[in-house]
Structures are given as structure tokens and as C-alpha cells.
Amino acid sequence: MTQPLRVAVTGAAGQIGYSLVFRIASGEMLGPDQPVILQLLELPVAVDAARGVAMELTDCAFPLLAGVEVTSDPNEGFKDADVVMLVGSKPRGPGMLRSDLIRENGPIFVGQGKAIDAHASADAKVIVVGNPCNTNCLIAAAQATRIPKKNFTAMTRLDQNRAVGQLSEKAQVAAAEISNMLIWGNHSPTMVPDTNHATISGASVGSAVDAGWLADEFDGTVRTRGKAIINARGKSSAASAASAAIDHIHDWFLGTGDNSYVSMAVPSNGAYGVPEGLIFSFPCRVTGPWEYEIVEGLELSAAVQERLQATIDELVEERATVQEML
Ligand code: NAD
Ligand code: LMR
């Protein structure tokens, strides 16, 4: 019998949490042979709501769900966790930038980073979803003395998936036909969606979709999709964010099956001139269960190269803003 993996989810009673935990328990994230124990962490004010979520999880009778624990104590919530999904934090509302959340959300990741380092599995894998996710991840990783920094990642998979969704609609092909769509940098409007290495049914993107649309609409749609969802829904994306978090962890654990790249915000090793340590979205190749490497040596177009600098500069500025939390 395969030992269950312990998955800690913060903000489990929130919008994303409610879309996320049932899919983890059903096996969509870690595969159909991997039992899981869910450790749901919520603020004291929402811990009863999280208990309700746990009751519903029980009521689903998922064959792979080996237990559910609910707590408002981070030391308990992260205890022995193999996978840590940091969702719990404030979302932005209409008219706000994600970076406006930094002062309020940043401190959450100091305490949680320390609790993870002290109590989670020594090789725990962490994804930060709460915004601004790259810099919150930087804060959490800065607390790590025992867990490797490389295990701290932030989510730009939603941006990758959004780009794939746009290409799939435009080219009228299934999303699965699209490979190596890249997102560089920050999960913010400075992100750089890069189609230069992507293919649609094996052909270059430029040969499969209208060049004018690609230049004028595609890029802006991807970079500002979060805001467009907030304007339409009155609340930030939730089901698509949960789905992207599932994809991020699924591919990190189980691979992509075809040697393709995935976009993950990970600690920079200096590749492509990105300052070491910044949590930056790079093309990553999964080389084994829970093993990834930054894909180096890709040729960058002049336009991408120029825009990389803007997203680097923004992350350097965010890092300076939270200096006292690092
Ligand atoms: P939400 O308000 O619906 O839920 C957040 C939950 O987190 C709440 O239940 C709250 O009680 C809980 N929480 C707050 N602080 C906590 C703490 N310190 N410990 C444990 N739980 C805590 O918000 P949401 O829509 O689920 O969004 C959560 C975060 O995810 C936001 O910061 C949002 O901006 C971000 N987000 C990121 C992406 C991405 O692509 N990276 C996509 C969508 C949303
Ligand atoms: C998103 O991209 O949907 C999230 O980061 C939420 C937001 O504030 O845009």
C-alpha cells in the first residue's frame, strides 16, 4: 500500500480552497495511485467554515482520501507536510494592483515560512498562490534553514494556461495540441508571455494564428486576464486558479510525459541575467518526481529580452519593499 502524502492547504475555506481540496482528494493532483491526507489551515475566524469543508470531503467518500485535519495553528497545519499549498491571504478587489497587497499579505508568509521550516517534511514542496505570489514566495523561502530553497515555488501556471486557452480558441485546436507556451517573470502585468518556443500541433505559433492578433491582442489579454476576471465576476479567479495549482503540483510530481516545459516561478540561479534568488517564472523541465531544472540557453527575441528587464526590475523593487521580512 502506498504511504499517503500529507498535503497542507492554507485558506482552505476560501474561494480557491473550496475549488482545490476536492480535486486533490479525488486524485487529480498526485495521481490515481497516491493516497493523501489533507491538512487544512484557516484563520480562527474561518476555522468552522473549514470544518464544514472537511465534512463535505468526508461525504464524498473519496477512495484516496486517507484523512482530513483542520486547524488554525500553523505549527499543526504544516506538521510533516510533504506538499504545502499557500493560498490563504487577501485577494485584491477592483481597481487594485496585486502589489498593493504586499504590506498586508507579506507578513503572513514570514510566520508561515518559519512554521513550514520548523514542522513540515525536510523535503516539503511548496507552492505559493497568495498574491503577490512571487514576492510572498521569496519571503517564505527566506525563512528556510532546513528545507531547500529550490522547493519554494510560486504559481504562474495560471498565466501559462490562460495563454494556452487563448491560442487554443484562436487556432481552434484542443489545448493539448499546444506545447512550450512560456511565461517569464512576475505574476503581474509585466509578465512576459513568450510564444517563440511554443508549437501548435507541432507548427510554430506564428504559422498557426494571425500575426496581428498575436501582436495586438493576445499578449495584453494574457497579462491582464486577472483584472478582466475581477471586473466580470466581482471577485478574483478561483476555479481556474485552483486548476492551475493542481497542474503545477501534478507536473512537478508526475512530469509532463513529453519532455515539454512548464512555467514555474522558482528561485533564480542567475540564468538569463535574472538576479540570483529572485522568484522568477522560468521555463522548467521536470526531470523526475519532484525534480525540476530551469531550461537554459533558449534564444530570446529582442522584444522578449527587453521586456524581461522590466519584470526583473519590478521584482527587484518588490524585494526592496519587503526587505525587513527577508
Ligand atoms: P478568499 O478571500 O476567498 O480566501 C482566502 C482564505 O484565506 C480565507 O478563507 C481566509 O480566511 C484565509 N486566510 C487569510 N489569511 C490566512 C492565514 N494567515 N492563514 C490561513 N488562512 C488564511 O481568497 P481567494 O480568492 O481564495 O484568493 C486567495 C489568494 O490567492 C489571494 O491572495 C489571491 O489574490 C490569490 N490568487 C493568486 C492567483 C495566482 O495565479 N497566483 C490566482 C488567483 C488568486
Ligand atoms: C489572477 O491572476 O487571477 C489572480 O492573481 C488574481 C488577481 O488579483 O488578478
- Over residues 303-323, the pLDDT tens digits come to 999 999 999 999 999 999 999
Mean residue pLDDT of the chain comes to 96
Is residue 187 part of the annotated active site? The answer reads yes
Atom of ligand 2 nearest to the CA of 229: 3
- Mean pLDDT to the nearest integer, 156-161: 98
Q: Whose CA is nearest to atom 5 of ligand 1?
A: 14
pLDDT of residue 17: 98
Answer yes or no: do 190 and 272 share one domain.
yes
Answer yes or no: do 77 and 218 share one domain.
no
Of 127, 154, 181, the one marking the end of a domain is: 154
Q: How many domains does the chain divide into?
A: 2
Atom of ligand 2 nearest to the CA of 227: 9
CA-to-CA distance for 299 and 18, rounded, in angstroms? 40
pLDDT tens sequence across 239-248: 999 999 999 9
pLDDT of residue 215: 86
pTM: 0.98
Answer yes or no: do 74 and 195 share one domain.
no
pLDDT tens sequence across 2-40: 999 999 999 999 999 999 999 999 999 999 999 999 999
Residue 1: pLDDT over 80: no
Please report, in angstroms and rounded to a whole number, the separation of the first and last CA atoms in the chain. 41
DSSP string, 243-299: HHHHHHHHHHHH--SSS--EEEEEE--SGGGPPTT-EEEEEEEEEETTEEEE---PP
| Structural domain that includes position 96 | 5-154
Which CATH number characterizes residue 106's domain? 3.40.50.720
Residue 216: pLDDT over 90: no
Confidence band of 94 (pLDDT split at 50, 70, 90): confident
For 127, list phi and psi in degrees, rounded to 5: -120, 130
User: How far, in Å, is the centroid of ligand 1 from the Cα of 14?
Assistant: 6
Does 326 map to a domain? no
- Give percent of the chain with pLDDT exceeding 90: 95
